[in-house]
Amino acid sequence: MTMLEQTPPPAEQPLLDVKDLMQSYTLPRESVFKPAGQVHALNGVTVQVMAGRSLGVVGESGSGKSTFARLVMALEQPSSGSVLLMGSDLHRMPADELRRARRDFQMVFQDPYGSLDPRQTIARIVAEPLTALGRMDRATLRQRVAGVLRQVGLRDADMDKFPHEFSGGQRQRIAIARALITQPKLIVADEPVSALDVSVQAQVLNLLQDLQDQFGLSYILISHDLAVVDYLCDEVAVMYLGRIVEQGRPEDLFAHCAHPYTRALLEAVPRARAGGVRRRRGAQSIASQSTGATGCAYASRCPLADQHCRDTAPALRNVGTAHLAACHHAEAVMALPPVSAEGG
Amino acid sequence: MSTPLSVSAEVGAATARPRLATGFWRRALRHRSFVTGGTLSLLVLCAALLSLVWTPWSAYEIDVASKLRPPSAAHWLGTDVLGRDIVSLLLVGARSTIMVGIIAVGIGLTFGVCLGLIAAARKGWTEELIMRMSDFTFAFPAVLSAIMLAAVAGPGMVTSIIAIGIFQIPTLVRVTRGSANAIWAREFVLAARASGRGGFRITIEHVLPNVLPILIVQATIQFALAILAEAALSYLGLGTQPPQPSWGRMLNDAQTLLFQSPMLAVYPGAAIAVAVLGLNLLGDGLRDLLDPRLARER
Amino acid sequence: MSGSANAPLIEVKDLGVRLNTSRGPAQAVRGVSFSLKRGETLGLVGESGCGKSVTALALMGLLPDSAVISGSIRLDGSELVGLSDANYCKLRGNRISMIFQEPMTALNPMHTIGRQVAEPLRRHTNCSAGEARKEAIALLDRVGLPDAAKRVDAYPHQFSGGQRQRVTIAMALACQPDVLIADEPTTALDVTIQGQILDLIAELVAERGMSMILISHDLGVIAENVQRMMVMYGGTVVESGATDAVFTRMGHPYTQGLFRARLRLGAQKGTRLKTIAGTVPELADLPAGCTFADRCAIVEDRCRVALPAVVDVSAGHGVRCLRTDASMAEAVGTLGA
């Protein structure tokens, strides 16, 4: 029963199939005699996204989530592993084919101020993914741009303005419009609302929700904010130091999480409520990415770690219906009382 | 393709902020350096243009009888050792100065910017090669290369233009590559790559427009340096050859008569100073007006 | 240093700041008043452009020369508005300190952390270099930097974001200031580190009897870390009071909107998030009357006439709104949660 949950029904191929993705960066040499150190940004990530469903990737700095985004978008070559979009390996395609394949997957970036070229008009910026695919006459381009701008709640007249004439939230809408224009099947959104004010975040998230309902888009939503992925995603993967440590439906993950790191993330979120008690959090050391230590990567920060954890790295395994966790003590974590949510 | 109504209601009117271009001239005309520098530079340019249609006297006409005259109603700044009217010499000299400046900087920009952009786009060995070649060229003093060139091709305006132009290239390669690298690291370039655009397209459409402000400023500085270099070369006798007037050579000619008629050195010296100062101030002003503005636009 | 323990340490009355922006003069801050006693903590919450950072900079005397400051800021009885820069320098880092949002840029990459932490000591006290260094090591140890004695000569880039922020905290506290202003101190840090840093600041504030002003855009951070709070919008304080009182029942439509717009874990999938219609106004284009009028669901004509006065909806809980009857009736907040 449990094994069947992991493999998709034979008729349906996943939209995105990531297998054992690994990425290491070589650090600059510190000495002539010693070999250069390596940073292992991704240590074997395997995950699938079905058409019309969304995956949330949660993690902090050093978790590898941004590297994951860049590899899925084929902006970098992985050290090993594969990324298959509708069956074709993105990293082994000839350049021309990859360029055409980009019609189906687009990206929204975190910084609404940096992701738009300040010297180009909105029309040019939004039309860029189409221009990359081939020549199109100006009138049709402008028509497409106008259409997609309307979809994100902006006006046709905004086409000829420049990015600095818009607020952060509006710029992020422009970025979303740019990602939509080729009618992709998959949008990778890297922290799409982190740089926005709270009231604007809500507007943009509503927009993403509406677009998903309207077009049957799949999202890979990368965020450090659990609530954001909870709102938009059907499945959430929590990453720590380049590995997925827990994966499952948001309601399962947040109601009975199975990994101590997920629990730590949930507990760390400040709650907006009266009578907020000061919770003392213990000192936590940060493990660095480059250590190739054996055993669980989280052991140094984990309150439940024992010798077994330090010796053997836990594999990602089933702990419930469509719920995976990489922890020897997953059942114990699941048995803990749920982390108190915000009231009101 | 209907818009979710609630979304458009939420957005509200896009607050129309003033566009970058219209604000520019308003601020520019209030900026001291820009106005001063612009005026001075324009002065030199006008002198050069004027000389094409009119000079008070012919700059080539030698009238030994009226040599070394002090300023008068006829000769506003007097005459030089060969009786030539100094005002006319300055006007026509401006022409050589401007021409050398424009063409030499043009050479520098064309090659320097191209190489710099290629270095930033390709990285790796290409970048290394270009930068080392540029360092090598840089290591040669301009004057030395001019002398070598003159020895090979004979002295003259063309030689000095080429020598100065070649000397400009490394600086522009360095400046272009540095700023281009900074642009390549920006997120909108990553977005362009994610859209599938190749290195060439990104360089032309994203990198170049964004490094343009820095290049414009650098170009004015290079112009000033070119003028100085031209003056130095003419002074050494390697640049514009007689009878073609040149500020640098006027300085050289004035050297022997420094105690007799010191003003003969002051006029061309002042002309050079005005041109160089004007361009430097213009460059300063442009830097203030173009770069921080873009950085501050949020 | 006069005043009994009960006299306010810092007293701000009707603070106003006019700045020159690219669109003309803007009233960045208007009518801000509060007072803090020793050991009290105050939170300033609002979104970008609300004036909270400008208020903090005004307290520190770090506004540009072209800024026009009106009103009064009294530190232990002495007036700070109009103080010469030279005199202000004697206070900064010494009696009133600030921690900034970006630890990456707040530290000079070319100086060791030991030198940067010792800098305020050398400037304001008569410490010798050796004494300052010893004190710096002690401070770095107190803020939880592991191996302080060995790492005192390391450079900022050798530390993580959270550790760098600890260093800036050590710098801010070096001369035992009376007032600490923390401007979004954890926004740029990972969520698991945020709690530690905020805890550290709270500990130090309590230990040294300082007053603290904490600025944040996050209602959760404010709820958990300060005794009293002020909500700012369009340069004015729209709601203020004890944190518990405000969160129990919010009085101003903007505060309510902010609270409702917050994402909550476990909210029903497929529900739409409640947003605040419209966008934040430009400070140079503030409307006459209530700054929130254009976005308010319960706005009336009289709201646009003049800036509403502050109404006390309960003891110490003030709301700048003419329609508190309607807004309080909405009962937004975590009533007794």
pLDDT at C60: 92
pLDDT at A7 over 60: no
Phi and psi angles of residue C240, each rounded to the nearest 5 degrees, phi first: -150, 155
pLDDT at B57: 84
Q: Helices (H) and strands (E) in chain B — how many of each?
A: 12, 0
Measured between alpha carbons, how far is C195 from C240 in angstroms, rounded to an integer? 24
Cβ contact B99:B165 at 8 Å: no
Residues A84-107, mean pLDDT to the nearest whole number: 92
- Listed by number, the residues of chain C in 230-289 with a beta carbon closer than 8 Å to a beta carbon of chain B are 272, 275, 277-279, 282, 285
Mutate which of B1, B6, B7 to disrupt the A interface (most A C-beta within 10 Å)?
B7
Neighbours of chain C (3+ CB pairs under 8 A): A, B
Handedness of CA C253, C258, C261, C263 (dihedral sign): negative
Please give the model's pTM, rounded to 2 decimal places: 0.84
10-residue mean pLDDT profile of chain C (337 residues): values are 66 93 85 91 91 92 90 91 89 90 87 92 88 92 88 89 91 91 89 88 89 92 92 93 91 90 74 80 82 88 89 90 86 65
From chain A, the residues in CB contact with C219 under 8 A are 198, 272
pLDDT tier, A281 (very low <50, low <70, confident <90, very high otherwise): low
> Cβ of C334 and A272 within 8 Å?
yes
> Cβ of C278 and B18 within 8 Å?
no
What are the structure tokens assigned to B268, written together?
């061309």
Mutate which of A107, A109, A119 to disrupt the B interface (most B C-beta within 10 Å)?
A119
Nearest CB to A107 within list B7, B191, B206: B191
- Listed by number, the residues of chain C in 25-44 with a beta carbon closer than 8 Å to a beta carbon of chain A are none
pLDDT digit string, tens, across residues B119-141: 999 988 999 999 999 998 888 87
pLDDT at B193: 92
pLDDT at A248: 93
Nearest CB to A197 within list C195, C217, C219: C217
Place of tokens 């000061």: A278
Residue B118 identity? I
pLDDT tier, A9 (very low <50, low <70, confident <90, very high otherwise): low
Cβ contact C231:C219 at 8 Å: no
Q: Is A107 on the interface with B (CB under 8 A)?
A: yes
pLDDT at A235: 93
**Closest Cα to residue C34, out of C46, C52, C22?**
C52
> Cβ of A150 and B298 within 8 Å?
no
Direct distance between the N- and C-terminal alpha carbons of chain B, in angstroms, rounded to an integer: 31
> Cβ of B7 and A132 within 8 Å?
no
Q: Is B15 on the interface with C (CB under 8 A)?
A: yes
> Cβ of C221 and A269 within 8 Å?
no
From chain B, the residues in CB contact with A212 under 8 A are none
> Cβ of A198 and C261 within 8 Å?
yes
| Nearest chain B residue (CA) to A211 | B4
pLDDT digit string, tens, across residues A42-68: 989 999 999 989 999 999 888 889 899
From chain C, the residues in CB contact with B296 under 8 A are 22
pLDDT at A317 over 70: yes
From chain A, the residues in CB contact with B21 under 8 A are none
Q: Is C23 on the interface with B (CB under 8 A)?
A: yes
Which residues lie below 8 Å from residue A100, measured CB to CB, with a gap of 6+?
A: A133, B196
From chain B, the residues in CB contact with A175 under 8 A are 191
Kindly report the nearest CA distance between residue B58 and chain A, in angstroms: 49
Kindly report the nearest CA distance between residue C192 and chain B, in angstroms: 27
Neighbours of chain A (3+ CB pairs under 8 A): B, C
Nearest CB to B186 within list A114, A170, A178: A114
> Cβ of C222 and A272 within 8 Å?
yes
Q: Is B7 on the interface with C (CB under 8 A)?
A: no
| Nearest chain A residue (CA) to C282 | A167
The predicted complex's ipTM stands at 0.84
pLDDT at B163: 87
Three-state DSSP state, A323 = strand
**Tens of pLDDT, residue by residue, chain B (298 residues):** 333 333 333 333 333 344 445 567 887 888 888 999 999 999 999 998 988 888 888 888 888 888 888 888 888 888 888 888 888 889 998 988 888 889 999 999 999 999 999 999 998 899 999 999 999 888 887 777 778 887 888 888 888 888 889 888 999 999 999 999 999 999 999 999 999 898 899 999 999 999 988 898 899 889 988 888 888 888 888 888 888 888 888 888 888 888 888 888 899 889 999 999 999 899 888 888 876 554 443 3
> Cβ of A230 and C276 within 8 Å?
no
Neighbours of chain B (3+ CB pairs under 8 A): A, C
Direct distance between the N- and C-terminal alpha carbons of chain A, in angstroms, rounded to an integer: 39
Measured between alpha carbons, how far is A189 from C92 in angstroms, rounded to an integer? 42
Place of tokens 């530079």: B41
Place of tokens 């010693």: A34
pLDDT tier, A101 (very low <50, low <70, confident <90, very high otherwise): very high
Direct distance between the N- and C-terminal alpha carbons of chain C, in angstroms, rounded to an integer: 42
From chain A, the residues in CB contact with B6 under 8 A are 206
Nearest CB to A344 within list C224, C274, C334: C334
Nearest CB to A341 within list C265, C273, C280: C265
| Nearest chain A residue (CA) to B11 | A153
Peptide bond into B242 cis (omega under 30): no
What are the structure tokens assigned to A191, written together?
């922290």
* Residue B240: count of CB within 10 angstroms of its CB: 28
Place of tokens 């008009």: A121
- Listed by number, the residues of chain C in 74-133 with a beta carbon closer than 8 Å to a beta carbon of chain A are none
Nearest CB to A132 within list B17, B190, B195: B195
pLDDT at B6: 36
Nearest CB to B194 within list A75, A147, A166: A75
pLDDT at A338: 82
Kindly report the nearest CA distance between residue B287 and chain A, in angstroms: 17
* Residue C160: count of CB within 10 angstroms of its CB: 16
pLDDT digit string, tens, across residues A12-23: 788 999 999 999
pLDDT at A277 over 60: no
> Cβ of A161 and B14 within 8 Å?
yes
From chain B, the residues in CB contact with A114 under 8 A are 186-188
Phi and psi angles of residue C20, each rounded to the nearest 5 degrees, phi first: -95, 115
Measured between alpha carbons, how far is C281 from B12 in angstroms, rounded to an integer? 11
**Closest Cα to residue A181, out of A146, A213, A139?**
A146
Q: Is B136 exposed, middle or buried (0-12, 13-18, 19+ CB in 10 A)?
A: exposed
From chain C, the residues in CB contact with B12 under 8 A are 277-279
